[in-house]
């Protein structure tokens, strides 16, 4: 599977909304509804925050929302808070038993 492309960094002020993109191909994001997003704080394990394109696991804030259009998936964080300062990674199923690939990650900075 080809790598998924994410912006290296995104920043915003508290209370603002930001969006992180994740661009794949018609073989992964464009063809399946199995896009996931993970949040990782420094020194901590990743945490699943979005599965199957737009679903939030129990306990994840409703300020996190996600969608996809064509070959690009997007994660939006609304009402940005200091605790959202973290790295965010996307992945997508690519069919059969193709190895999973993470995006390179996006560093979100809350100004």
CA distances from 53 to 1, 22, 44, 46 (A): 18, 11, 24, 17
- Three-state DSSP class for 19? strand
Supply the DSSP symbol for 56. P
Q: Tell me which residues touch other proteins (CB under 8 A).
A: 32, 34, 36, 38, 40, 45-48, 51-52, 57, 87, 89, 91, 93, 97-105
Output 16 or 55, the one with its CB closest to other proteins.
Answer: 55
- Considering the complex, state which of residue 100 and residue 109 has its C-beta at the smaller distance from other proteins: 100
10 or 104: CB nearest other proteins? 104
């Amino acid at each position: 599977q080809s790598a998924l492309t994410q912006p290296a960094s995104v920043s915003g002020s508290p209370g603002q909304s930001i969006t992180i993109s994740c661009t794949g191909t018609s073989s992964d994001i464009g063809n399946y509804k199995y896009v996931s997003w993970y949040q990782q704080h420094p020194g901590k394990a990743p945490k699943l925050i979005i599965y199957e394109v737009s679903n939030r696991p129990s306990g994840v804030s409703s300020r996190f929302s996600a969608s996809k259009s064509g070959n690009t998936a997007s994660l939006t964080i609304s009402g940005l808070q200091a605790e959202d300062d973290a790295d965010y990674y996307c992945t997508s199923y690519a069919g059969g038993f193709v190895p999973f690939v993470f995006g390179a990650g996006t560093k979100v900075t809350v100004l």
